[in-house]
C-alpha cells in the first residue's frame, strides 16, 4: 500500500504537469519526424561546370547523375568561388583537369565517381588519370574537418543556452528578479545587464572552445581566428538571449531542459551537419529562422573557405538581429512577473 501511494503521487504529478506529459509523447515523435525528413532524401546530385571539353566526354558526363553546365573558364571559377558549383572540369592535353570546391567531402566523392564512370564509358573500361585540384581543403580533408565548424557553433550555442536559461530561472525562483523589478530599474536595463554579465563569460568560453578545436584537435582552419571568435561570441549572445527568454516560461530547471528537443535539436539538423542540398526546398527554408544555421554557415566560410568579412557579414547582421529580437521579447516577457 505504501508503494502504491508513491506510485499514485507520481502519477498525480504528471497529471498536473501536462507539459511534461505531452513532451514525453510529442518530443520523440517530433525528433523522429525530423530525422525522417532529413535522412530520407535524394542522393546528392553535384553541380559540375564543363569548360571546352571534348563532345564525347561532355556527353558521357551528362549521362551521369549530375547537373552539368557548359560555361567559360572565368564564369566557372567565379561560381566555384561563390560555392554555386561543386567542380569544374576542363581539358588540357588529352587529360581532364578537375578543380573541386572541396568544402564538402560527399560532393567531392560524387564528382570523382561521376568522372570515373564517364571516363570508363568513354575509354571502354580504361580509367582516366585526371589532374585534381582543391579550391578549398585538400585530399586529406575529412568528415571531421567538414562538420567541425558546425560542432564549434553548436557546443557554444547549446551550453550557453542551458547555463544562461537555468541561471536566469534561478534568479526568478529565488526572488532576486522580483526584487530587481521592484526597484527603479527598467526591464530593458535588467535584460541588458544580464546579457552583458553573462556575455563576459561567453567570451571566455568562445576563446577556449575555438582555440582547443583548432590548435589542440587540429581542426582545419584557413581563415582568421579573430573572425571565428567574433562569430562564436555573437552566436553565444543569441543563445543567451533565447535561453533567458524561454526561461520566463519555465517554472523549474526540469521544464527548462524540456526546451532542448524543441529548440536545440531541430537546429542541429539544419545547421549543416547533414547536406541540405538533398532536402526539399520547403524543408531547407526552416533553417532560415534558426540562429545556429547562420553561425555555422559563417564559421564554414571562415574556417574552411578562408573568406573575409564581406562574405559572411550578412550572417553577422542576422545573428545580431536575433539577439536584439530575443532581448526585446524578454523585456515583454518580464511583464508576466511584474509591471513597472
Condensed to tens digits (0 to 9), the pLDDT of residues 21-56 reads 666 677 677 777 777 776 666 677 788 888 888 788
Q: Which of 97, 100, 70 is nearest to 87 (CA)?
A: 100
Q: What is the mean pLDDT of residues 158-185?
A: 77
Residue whose C-alpha cell reads 519526424 in the numeric block: 33
Secondary structure of residue 331 in the 3-state scheme: helix
Residues present in the chain in total: 340
**Which pLDDT value is given to residue 193?**
80
User: Span 47-134: which CATH code?
Assistant: 3.40.1710.10
Strands 87-92 and 95-100, by their bridges, are: antiparallel
- In this predicted structure, what is the pLDDT of residue 339? 46
This prediction has a pTM of 0.79
Residues carrying CATH 3.40.1710.10, the chain = 47-134
Mean pLDDT computed over 93-100: 79
Residue 50 main-chain phi, psi, to 5 deg: -105, 130
CB of 102 closer than 8 Å to CB of 145: no
321-330 pLDDT, tens digit each = 999 999 888 8
- What mean pLDDT, rounded, does the chain reach? 80
Q: What is the pLDDT of residue 258?
A: 78
Please give the radius of gyration of the chain, using alpha carbons only, rounded to the nearest integer: 25
Up-side HSE of residue 320: CA atoms within 13 Å toward CB? Answer: 7
Contact 235, 157 (CB under 8 A): yes
Q: State the Cα–Cα distance between residues 252 and 249, nearest whole angstrom.
A: 9
Please check the confidence at residue 231 and state whether its pLDDT lies above 90.
yes
266-295 per-position pLDDT tens digit? 888 888 777 777 677 777 788 888 999 999
Query: Alpha-carbon distance 93 to 4, whole Å?
Result: 84
Per DSSP, 198 falls in state H
Amino acid at each position: 500500500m505504501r508503494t502504491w501511494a508513491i506510485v499514485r503521487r507520481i502519477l498525480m504529478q504528471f497529471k498536473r504537469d501536462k507539459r511534461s506529459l505531452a513532451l514525453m509523447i510529442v518530443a520523440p515523435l517530433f525528433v523522429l519526424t525530423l530525422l525522417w525528413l532529413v535522412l530520407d532524401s535524394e542522393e546528392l546530385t553535384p553541380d559540375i561546370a564543363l569548360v571546352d571539353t571534348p563532345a564525347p566526354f561532355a556527353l558521357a558526363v551528362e549521362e551521369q547523375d549530375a547537373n552539368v553546365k557548359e560555361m567559360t573558364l572565368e564564369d566557372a571559377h567565379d561560381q566555384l568561388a561563390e560555392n554555386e558549383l561543386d567542380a569544374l572540369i576542363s581539358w588540357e592535353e588529352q587529360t581532364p583537369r578537375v578543380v573541386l570546391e572541396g568544402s564538402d567531402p560527399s560532393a567531392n566523392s560524387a564528382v570523382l565517381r561521376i568522372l570515373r564512370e564517364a571516363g570508363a564509358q568513354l575509354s571502354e573500361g580504361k580509367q582516366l588519370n585526371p589532374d585534381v585540384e582543391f579550391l578549398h581543403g585538400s585530399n586529406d580533408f575529412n568528415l571531421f574537418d567538414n562538420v567541425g565548424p558546425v560542432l564549434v557553433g553548436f557546443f557554444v550555442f547549446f551550453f550557453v543556452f542551458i547555463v544562461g536559461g537555468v541561471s536566469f530561472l534561478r534568479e526568478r525562483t529565488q526572488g532576486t528578479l522580483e526584487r530587481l523589478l521592484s526597484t527603479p530599474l527598467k526591464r530593458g536595463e535588467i535584460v541588458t545587464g544580464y546579457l552583458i554579465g553573462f556575455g563576459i563569460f561567453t567570451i571566455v568560453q568562445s576563446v577556449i572552445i575555438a582555440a582547443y578545436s583548432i590548435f589542440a584537435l587540429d581542426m582545419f582552419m584557413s581563415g582568421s581566428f579573430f573572425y571565428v571568435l567574433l562569430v562564436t561570441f555573437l552566436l553565444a549572445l543569441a543563445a543567451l538571449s533565447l535561453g533567458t527568454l524561454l526561461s520566463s516560461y519555465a517554472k523549474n530547471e526540469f521544464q527548462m531542459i524540456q526546451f532542448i528537443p524543441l529548440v536545440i535539436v531541430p537546429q542541429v539538423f539544419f545547421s549543416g551537419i547533414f547536406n541540405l542540398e538533398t532536402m526539399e526546398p520547403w524543408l531547407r527554408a526552416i533553417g532560415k529562422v534558426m540562429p545556429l544555421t547562420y553561425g555555422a554557415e559563417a564559421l564554414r566560410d571562415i574556417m574552411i573557405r578562408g573568406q573575409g568579412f564581406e562574405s559572411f557579414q550578412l550572417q553577422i547582421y542576422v545573428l545580431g538581429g536575433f539577439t536584439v529580437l530575443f532581448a526585446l521579447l524578454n523585456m515583454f516577457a518580464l511583464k508576466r512577473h511584474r509591471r513597472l
